[in-house]
Every structure is written in structure tokens, then in C-alpha cells.
Amino acid sequence: MGLQRSDFMGRQVVPSAKDKARLTVARNDARRQLVERIEKAGDINADDVRSYPDLEQAEEKEKRWREFNSALLSRLFTSEEYAREYDSAVRPVHVISDRYFDPSLDDIAQRLVRTVKSQISSLRSIIDRLDLVDEGAMPVAAIEDAMQAERNLQLLIERFHLVAQQLRVRHDSRPTLDRPQLASRRTAIRRSISANHSANSALACWTLVPAGLQKMASQPGPLRPLQAPDSLRSNFDN
């Protein structure tokens, strides 16, 4: 039904129910209108071009006929799927090489005939597939799914803006420090670091003191002078 889509690996992608084109009118009514457009192609008289004025007139008729067909397909279906399919069937009547090679009147007239036939073939193909296209509007379930998805997206956007606003308010409410305050805080940090370093140094020296001296220093009362052992005094006396 219509142009088939494929993913990047070439696999056919089946459109969901809400993406499928549907008829906006009765199927028989759509068929009748498209058949009438095919019959209208005879008014272009592309086969009867005998002069350049005839060609100009035929091209103008083909343009109006083509534009009407594209607009009609857009109105007969709920999407642009079939209108795009029809537009892709249009063949150019004038090409870039015509600037360098002067085509004959018959060559241009034959191009006009080919594009009209290609568009008629596209319309007939669409008519043949009308039985595969559902009539009426989108199913209620598909409409509700689409509306719910839109509401969820809107809610997500609103929450994002709310969080961003809260972060901005929190940032703006932070107290700012002037230069004297910054200097005072830096001084306090340096003193804290210095005090911790002194305490660590004293603790390291204390661990180097022999256990006996640590015990004597920890006893209450006045410190007594240290006396050398008898063995050491005898050595000094001698």
C-alpha cells in the first residue's frame, strides 16, 4: 500500500496503524474521482502538438492537470503517501542538456506524452490498490496512543524546565564571598593545617622516647633528675 519504507539495512518497515494512510471519503467515491482525472488527461492533447504554440498550450494544460491530481490525492487520503508516489511519476519535459543541444519540437512533445502516460499509470496503480486502504478516520485507539505520547512529551519538557529553574534559583541564592572574607578563610585553613602538622610532629617525637622515660614522664608530681646506672657511673669514675 503506497511506497514501502526500508531501514538502513534494507529491511521492509511495516508502518503502525496510526502511520497508515486511510481514505477520507468512501472508496467508490475516491475511485470515481481518480478515474475522472485519468479521463481529463485527454484534454491535454499531447499527441496533437504540431507547433510551438501547441506545445506551450499543452504544457500549461498538463501543469494544471498535474497540480490538481496531486492536491486531490492529498485530500482523498489522511497522509501525503499517495500524493508523493504520484509526484515521483512526473517526468521532465525540459532538461539541462537542452541548453547545449537544441531539441526538436517532436522530441519535446514526446517527453510531454511520456510524462502524461507515467502519471496516468501511477493513478491507475493507486486505483487498483484502493481495496487495500481502510476507510474513515484513524481508529480511536491509535488516536489515544498518539495523544498520550504527545502529553508525555509535554510533561517531560515541563519537568525539565522546572528542574532547570530550581537549579538556577539555588545557584543565585548562594552567598558570595568578598576579598576580606576569602583572605580570612584562607588564613584559618593555613592555621588549621599548621596546628595539625605540629601535633603530628610531637606525636612522632614521643614515639622515639624509650618506654621507661615515657612512663616516668606520665607519672604525677615533679620530674626527678635522671640518674645513670651504677655500671655507667663506675666507668666514668675510672
Instruction: Check residue 117 and give its pLDDT.
Output: 97
- The whole-number average pLDDT for the span 117-124 is 98
Segment among 25-39, 51-65, 113-127, 214-228 with least mean pLDDT: 214-228
Looking at the DSSP bridge assignments, the partners of residue 13 are 5
Instruction: Count up the domains in the chain and report the number.
Output: 1
Domain contains 117:
yes
Q: Do 18 and 114 meet the contact criterion of CB atoms below 8 Å apart?
A: no
- Cα angle value 232/235/237 (rounded, 5°): 110
**CA pair distance 176, 222, nearest whole angstrom:** 54
- Cα angle value 125/49/64 (rounded, 5°): 50
Q: Which pTM value belongs to this model?
A: 0.53
Domain contains 238:
no
Domain contains 35:
yes
Tally the C-alpha atoms within 13 A of residue 101's C-alpha that lie toward its C-beta. Answer: 8
- The whole-number average pLDDT for the span 190-194 is 74
Residue 13 binned pLDDT confidence (cut-offs 50, 70, 90): very low
Domain contains 48:
yes
C-alpha dihedral sign at 88, 94, 100, 102 = positive
In order of 12, 207, 216, 224, 231, the CA distances from 210 in angstroms are 87, 8, 10, 16, 19
pLDDT per residue as tens digits for the range 165-191: 777 777 666 665 556 766 777 787 777
% of residues, the chain, pLDDT over 90: 47
Domain contains 189:
no
pLDDT > 60? residue 70: yes
Domain contains 44:
yes
Domain contains 37:
yes
Residues 6+ apart with CB under 8 A from 107: none
Domain contains 72:
yes
pLDDT per residue as tens digits for the range 124-168: 999 999 999 999 865 545 556 656 777 788 778 877 777 877 777
Domain assignment of residue 115, given as a range: 23-145
Beta strands in the chain (DSSP E): 5-6, 12-13
